[in-house]
Amino acid sequence: MTVTLDLAHLLASSAPEDAAARRTLSSLSLAVARARRVVVVTGAGISCSCGIPDFRSSDGLYNLVKSRYPDVVLKGRDLFDASLFRSPESTALFYTFMAELKAAIDAAQPSRTHEFLKVLDRRGKLLRSYTQNIDGLEQRAGLSTAAGPSREGKENDAPSPSPAAPQSSSIAEPAKPKPKPKGKSLKSARNVQLHGDIHAVRCTLCAYTAPFSPEHTASFREGKAPACPACTARCEARLLRAARSIPTGSLRPAIVLYDEPHPLGEEIGTVQGSDLSRAPDLLIIMGTSLKVHGLKRLVREFAAAVHARAERVGGQEGKGGKKQPAMLGKVLFVNRTPPSSEWAGVIDYHVQGETDAWVARVEEEWRRLRPQDWEVQTTLDELPAKARAKVSKPGLPLLVKDKPVEKEKKRPKARRAGNGNSSDAENIPLSQTSALSGKTLVPTPRKEKLVPLSPSKRANLANHYDSDASPRKKRSPGSGSDKGRQEEAGRTPLGERNGGFKEKGLLFGSPSRAQAREDLGLEELSLVTPVKRRSARARLVPVRA
């Protein structure tokens, strides 16, 4: 059973008895926000607010055209029927009506509903849009559209006249198959025009297509159809070869009339089957009365796929342990007039009102209930040059910091001399000065007490034999009464013991061995290896008998 919601009444009412209906209307908006694969079917009702008249109405362009041809008895629907080409009067009326409709479409702008389709596509929720409209406003709103021939604004290549053949040649040329209309692939298009596009013209005989130019509009306004240039070129080429002439076609708007096959019918069927296999979770029908037989079959097939998915996932829990939203798997019908009784088991909810007002309500509640879907990702191109250097990590939301983070300054490494050794050599006496500069090579050790450092950092010090740097160096190998003096000698560098080294000759001169022992403070040490004590027990020598 179809539930009807009066949109204008619910938007203006705050009565308690309408609270349930208002919650249902909000639930439909939330279903659109949570859906992932939405199929939209639209009709002429979404373009009425753009200034394009509905051909079923009794006023507008139909009355203007009817005044020019009072003898022709046609209804509004008959202007889009293939049977009007049976008489010259109805054909001329059709061309005049198409010229006036083309002028009205060129002056129109996309409506709020057309922009809503682009929003669904930008958010990654639109599976496909199927429209009965021929105005092409979906493409002007930014939605990729493919309806058939000449979507790139270029004419198909007309056959060039072939060189004249000899007159004696009587061999008939084999008939070449007609090429299919050139158009953009429907699989990559987000919008499919079921009834063609008025912005192109095509030949009634061959596959020639071209954009709808102002010259075509002027000819159609007079009720005349321009001749096909491709057919005319082929006919003239045959006449130059002294062959018989062939029929030439005329140009007409590239739209699909009632009871007329679609040039891309097979491709549309393939795309429709692909969309059905992807299990859409929501079907929205807007601005159509559902009177066309082909459209009725398309809507029933998509509605069955949506309901089947709802039954399959009903009661199951999602990834986060939450159940699927209740409004997903439903069919929504948004139109001013209610659907007929044949749609009672197909359409679940009917929102009675204007399509622009409903999509505005959906976007408002979507922004309020799910604001994360409307966050805009800032790119590096939008930031100034100074702010680009302050971005924390690429790929994440760009967070620009107020002050740059200062890196910790590294400890300067010890400079090394030319021979690869550190310039802070620890074996050079502190009192020794450079012969060239007269400056002390190594600074005097600091007197303040330092915290013991690790062995890796101890190499950066001027002398790592000081009392606080290495506790194990404090120990002295001697003992007894000389222990204190040896400890004092162990704390003092060799160069400062006994008044330092005497400068003789080259670097340290050539002192005698005794003087060297005295200068180096080694007089207390013994350089002779102690002799091992012999065992008091004599060896037993075996005596031979």
Catalytic positions are 195
Check: CB of residue 69 under 8 Å from CB of residue 93. Answer: yes
Query: 39 by DSSP, 3-state: which?
Result: strand
| Measured torsion, CA atoms of residues 8, 9, 14, 15, in degrees rounded to the nearest 10 | -170
Question: Measured between alpha carbons, how far is 526 from 478 in angstroms, rounded to an integer?
Answer: 12
Q: Enumerate long-range contacts of 168-174, CB under 8 Å, 24 or more apart.
A: 169/241
Whole-number Å distance between alpha carbons of 461 and 446: 10
Annotated binding site for Zn(2+): 203, 206, 228, 235
239 CB contacts (<8 Å, ≥6 apart)?
245
431-440 long-range contacts (CB < 8 A, ≥24 apart) are 431/495, 431/496, 431/500, 432/495, 432/501
Q: Residue 209's beta-bridge partner residues?
A: 202
How is residue 487 written in tokens? 């400890």
Other CB atoms within 10 Å distance of the CB of residue 142:
16
Q: How far apart are CA 497 and CA 486, in angstroms?
A: 12
Contact assessment for residue 32 and residue 127, using Cβ atoms and an 8 Å cutoff: no
The one-letter amino acid code at 385 reads A
DSSP 258: B
Distance of alpha carbon 63 from alpha carbon 68, whole angstroms:
9
- CB-based burial, 39-74: b 16+ in 10 Å, e otherwise: bbbbbbbbbbbbebbbbeeeebbbeebbeebeebeb
CB-CB neighbours of 495 under 10 Å: 17
What is the DSSP-derived secondary structure letter of residue 495? G
Q: Could you tell me if 25 and 315 are in contact, meaning their C-beta atoms sit under 8 angstroms apart?
A: no
What is the number of residues in the chain? 545
State CA 482 to chain mean position distance. Answer: 84
Residues β-bridged to residue 400: 391
d(CA 466, CA 446): 9
Q: What's 94-156 look like in SS3?
A: HHHHHHHHHHHHHCCCCCHHHHHHHHHHHCCCEEEEEECCCCCHHHHCCCCEECCCCCCCCCC
Q: Judging by DSSP bridges, how do beta strands 38-42 and 251-255 pair with one another?
A: unpaired
